Amino acid sequence: MNYRHAFHAGGPADVIKHAVLVRILVHLCNKPAAFRVIDTHAGAGLYDLQGPEATRSPEWRDGIDKIMRGVIGVAEHALLKPYLDAVLALNSADRLTRYPGSPMLARTLLRSQDRLIACELEPNAAAALAHNLGGDRRAKAVAIDGWTALNAYIPPPERRGLVLIDPPFEAVNEFARLAQALEAAHRKWPTGIFLIWYPIKRRQDSDDLARRLRRSAIPKVLRIEVDYKTQSEAGRLAACGLVAINPPWGMAEEVEILMPAFARIFGGGGRLNWIARA
């Protein structure tokens, strides 16, 4: 499977991933100490919803467009507001034309003392990322393999922060590699927050990842999985998951509030459970 950011920008998987990402960043901002965000597979950072990739695969119509137009309760809206505000800031009030990737969303939440390292190896995406983050001293784009970056940049000097791992899942052994990399990264930075996104094509892959993490020495692991319907061709990705290691206190309860909204708007279901909880 190849999950390239540009073809799926703003789709249901992006909405779910980015809503949780922003909630983590909001929690990090609640304390004055500086934090660092490390985005290991950052993509281009900003996507044209009218461009060739997005129009060839217009998943944003099933994702961000639906969440913007959907009926959202007061509690749900309060949790989603920082994320939706970041998207709206790039668009006119009545038309979606651009969608921010994870590094641009992270930059929105950075304070003057915080830092972002966004890593991307694919040359075209890396050049676009450098352009999109250019001129902001808080953010740095690095043309480096994401797996190499995961080992190289942790622990950060701030000693608090978030690592987002969102690989393209091009290799057949990506889930096994992901579990191994997480165990090694946690040993290096046991207090860091790690957020991992993965596609669900076969439940066996995600369940194997959960079992591997359950057997590891990682004491605090939350799993979030969401199914959703699409209006496009059969065979398109219709479920995704997130693993949060060391999620901030209260975040699980926030996601529990958001899950019914995702199910209602995207027409699916999901599960939320602790793989490990010290």
Distance separating alpha carbons of residues 220 and 245, to the nearest angstrom: 6
Phi-psi label, residue 149: left if phi above 0, alpha if psi -120 to 50, beta otherwise = alpha
Distance separating alpha carbons of residues 116 and 133, to the nearest angstrom: 10
Question: In 10 A of CB 216, how many CB atoms?
Answer: 18
β-pairing, 239-245 vs 193-199, is antiparallel
Active site residue 62: no
Q: What is the DSSP string of 104-142?
A: HHHHHH--TT-EEEEE--SHHHHHHHHHHHTT-TTEEEE
Q: What is the DSSP string of 247-272?
A: PPTTHHHHHHHHHHHHHHHHT--EEE
For residue 168, what is the enclosing H or E element? none
Contact 100, 87 (CB under 8 A): yes
| CA-based R_g, the chain, Å | 17
β-pairing, 115-119 vs 36-39, is parallel
Distance separating alpha carbons of residues 135 and 206, to the nearest angstrom: 39
Question: The tokens of 206 are what?
Answer: 């995600």
Q: Which of 14, 39, 65, 166 is catalytic?
A: 166
The greatest distance separating any two alpha carbons of the chain, rounded to the nearest whole angstrom, comes to 49
Contact 251, 217 (CB under 8 A): no
Q: Which residues does the annotation mark as catalytic?
A: 166
